[in-house]
Structure 1
Amino acid sequence: MKTSQEIIELFLANTTNPDVIKSVVDINATYISLNFDNPELQKIMPWAGTHRDGAKGFIDTFAGVNEFWTIQDFEVQDIFSEGDKVAVFGSFTYTSKTLNKQVNSPFSILAKVRDERIYHFMFMEDTFATAGSFRLTPAGTFHSDPKGTEFGL
């Protein structure tokens, strides 16, 4: 019997293999990709949001990532588990296929595994940076500091 951590390691080593994904993802699994529900981000990265359709959400997400970017590096720096929970931390380097812009981002994953099946998976990254790899024009004008003034990017 595989541990929860071994299941997540198997998944991460096979994110483009639908057969492996189907073998380790529960049919009712929830996959939260980058946020719960952000229609603006979904225009840039259609897979963003909450998916409650088992392996399909995982397969569609990683297919989209591979369609939109060339992956130079995906490195797990730390992984640990307690019971059914697995936490993963690392970084990746992608280059957008449309604009050839490279981005490096940290990532974190909170996964839950029961009976050798992933039933919950939350993937977080620096979405401002990754979405920026598709940016054609400046990001806009911001005013974040209540004591400061607006500025453009």
Structure 2
Amino acid sequence: MKTPQQTIELFLANTTNPDIIRSVVDPNATYISLNFNNPELQRILPWTGTHYEGAKGFIDTFAGVNEFWTIQAFQVQDIFSENEKVAVFGSFTYTSRSLNKQVTSPFSILAKVKDEKIYHFMFMEDTFATAGSFRITPAGTFHSDPKASEFEV
């Protein structure tokens, strides 16, 4: 019997294999990709948001990632678990296929596994950087610091 951590490690080693994904994902699993719901980001990264369709959400997300970027590196730095919960931290380097822009981002995952099936999975990354790998023009004008002026990025 696989531990929750071993189940996540198996998944992460096989993100482009639909058969493995189906074997380790509960049919009613929730997958939160980068945010709960952000229509603007979804225009850039169509797989983002909350998915309730089990393995399909996982398969579609990782297919989209592989379609939009070439993956140079995906490195797990730390992985640990407590009961059903598994936390994963690391970094990846992708190059956008459309503009050939490379980006490196940290990532984190919170997964929940029961009976060798992932039933909850939340993947976070630096979406400003990853979406920026598709940016042709400046991101826009920002005003974050109330004591400072606006600026262009």
Provide TM-score, normalisation by structure 1. 1.00
| Counterpart in the other structure of 1:131 | 131
SS at match of 2:75: strand
Q: Identity over the aligned pairs, expressed in percent?
A: 83
Unmatched segments (≥5 aa) in structure 2? none
| Counterpart in the other structure of 1:103 | 103
Unmatched segments (≥5 aa) in structure 1? none
| Counterpart in the other structure of 1:145 | 145
Give the paired residue count. 153
Q: Counterparts of 2:18 and 2:139 in 1: how far apart (Å)?
A: 36
SS at match of 1:72: strand
| Counterpart in the other structure of 1:46 | 46
SS at match of 1:64: helix
The equivalences for 1:1-150 within 5 A come to 1-150=1-150
Q: Counterparts of 1:3 and 1:98 in 2: how far apart (Å)?
A: 39
Q: Counterparts of 1:117 and 1:151 in 2: how far apart (Å)?
A: 47
RMSD of aligned alpha carbons: 0.2
Q: CA deviation at 1:68?
A: 0.1
- List, as ranges, runs of 4+ consecutive aligned residues in structure 1 with deviation greater than 3 Å: none
Q: Counterparts of 2:50 and 2:71 in 1: how far apart (Å)?
A: 23
Q: Counterparts of 1:98 and 1:11 in 2: how far apart (Å)?
A: 27
Q: Counterparts of 1:151 and 1:40 in 2: how far apart (Å)?
A: 21
Q: Which amino acid aligns with 2:131?
A: A
Q: Counterparts of 1:60 and 1:87 in 2: how far apart (Å)?
A: 22
